[in-house]
Structure 1
Amino acid sequence: MNQAELKILDYIHTHFSCRFLDAVMPIITKFGDGGIFWIAAAVLFIIFKKTRKTGISMGAALLIGLIIGNLILKNSFARIRPYDLNPAILPDMLIKPLSDFSFPSGHTLASFEAAVVLLIRDKRFGIPAIVLAVLIAFSRLYLYVHYPTDVLAGAVLGTFIAFFACKAVDLCYKKISDKNNSQ
């Protein structure tokens, strides 16, 4: 599997590389660093009562994804990064090599968790967020730090976690509402 995926990454590297993308992709990928952008967005949504449910859903999804993706799956699979299998790419790296494992892509996972929550709760925010999530996911391939299956797994898992978080938050809101109405 790794060899086939390296061929895909090499294809991207050979056919898509240009000065513009070399400048833009490291910037785009920073939006996913540590999930900080998405965490800040969740906090911003929590501040306002009208969007609080969205922010809580985003926060819940990001926390669940951190536990499942970064703490459990990355360490369980312990998949080395693509540049470790193809060290010839190292001189062309646009960002510093990373020290953690590859599977799943944490940038993609967090981005899809947050973006799908936004899409579920409010399409005005969700559609641009999905576009950003896709760009972040592609940046991970372009920068040669993830295999395609890492990114795919992050997107799929992030989507499922987002749906779960929204349902869980909806249930909590309903229980609180029912409790308040019965008093």
Structure 2
Amino acid sequence: MNNRIFYFFNHFAGRHDWFDDSVELFAQGIVWFMLAVMAYLWLTGKERNQKLVFYSLLTASVALMLGIFMISPLVNHSRPFVDHQIMQLIPHVPDASFPSDHATLAFSLAFSILFVKRKLGIVMLALAILTGISRVYVGVHYPGDILGAAALSFIISYGVYKRSSRLEVIPLYMIKMYRKLMK
């Protein structure tokens, strides 16, 4: 099923250059836009937003470290372009693909925001889904890599959200230091 869904998305690649260019941008650039949203939230100066940014980045850091240093080496799943003749639209090293780092970052930010700011969280979740689909379309991930990243991100996001009151001293200290530096 993982292969079938992969081929469904990837078989459209290479047919329309303008569409491929757009999807390549989504596959690589949406995470930068999402990080820009985080920077904007921080720069609003509102304590609630700044705490949200702290918890979102904490979530992303933990999820990425677990994915990169524990899960990926353990699963060691090769990328689609390693095992199959496919249309690969963006270059990528042939390292392990599960879970997707791009999708882990995108879903970590999206879920973290979704728990606190529903409307913005839904937009960010849509961007994370678009990132995941784009990574499959361009030929560097299987759908299972994206689903694994989403599941990992949700678990870590939910755990950080539920424990945020116990961690509150850390973001409050960072916000205080930031405000002192900006004076």
Which residue, 3, 8, 23 being the options, matches 1:6? 3
Instruction: Quote the Cα distance in structure 1 between the aligned partners of 2:122 and 2:155.
Output: 17
Which residue, 95, 108, 111 being the options, matches 1:116? 111
Aligned amino acid, residue 112 of structure 1: F
Unaligned runs of 5+ in 2: 173-183
TM-score (norm 1): 0.80
1:99–1:171: structure 2 CA closer, same or farther, 3 Å change rule? same
1:145 aligns with 2:143: no
Other-structure match for 1:181: none
Other-structure match for 1:55: 53
3-state secondary structure, aligned to 1:145: coil
Which residue, 146, 149, 164 being the options, matches 1:169? 164
Shift of 1:23: 1.7
Shift of 1:36: 5.0
Tell me if structure 1 keeps the 8 A contact 2:59–2:157.
yes
1:128–1:152: structure 2 CA closer, same or farther, 3 Å change rule? same
Tell me if structure 2 keeps the 8 A contact 1:112–1:159.
yes
* RMSD over equivalenced CA pairs, Å: 2.5
1:45 aligns with 2:41: yes
Deviates more, 1:46-55 or 1:105-114: 46-55
Count, aligned residues? 169
3-state secondary structure, aligned to 2:11: helix
By percentage of residues, which structure has more helix?
Answer: 1
Instruction: Quote the Cα distance in structure 1 between the aligned partners of 2:160 and 2:132.
Output: 21
1:27 aligns with 2:22: no
Unaligned runs of 5+ in 1: 178-183
Shift of 1:16: 7.1
3-state secondary structure, aligned to 2:115: helix
Other-structure match for 1:154: 149
1:102 aligns with 2:97: yes
1:159–1:23: structure 2 CA closer, same or farther, 3 Å change rule? same
3-state secondary structure, aligned to 1:121: coil
Tell me if structure 2 keeps the 8 A contact 1:56–1:169.
no
Shift of 1:145: 1.0
Runs of 4+ more than 6 Å apart: 174-177
TM-score (norm 2): 0.80
Instruction: Quote the Cα distance in structure 2 between the aligned partners of 1:76 and 1:175.
Output: 32
Instruction: Quote the Cα distance in structure 2 between the aligned partners of 1:143 and 1:14.
Output: 10
Tell me if structure 1 keeps the 8 A contact 2:54–2:171.
no
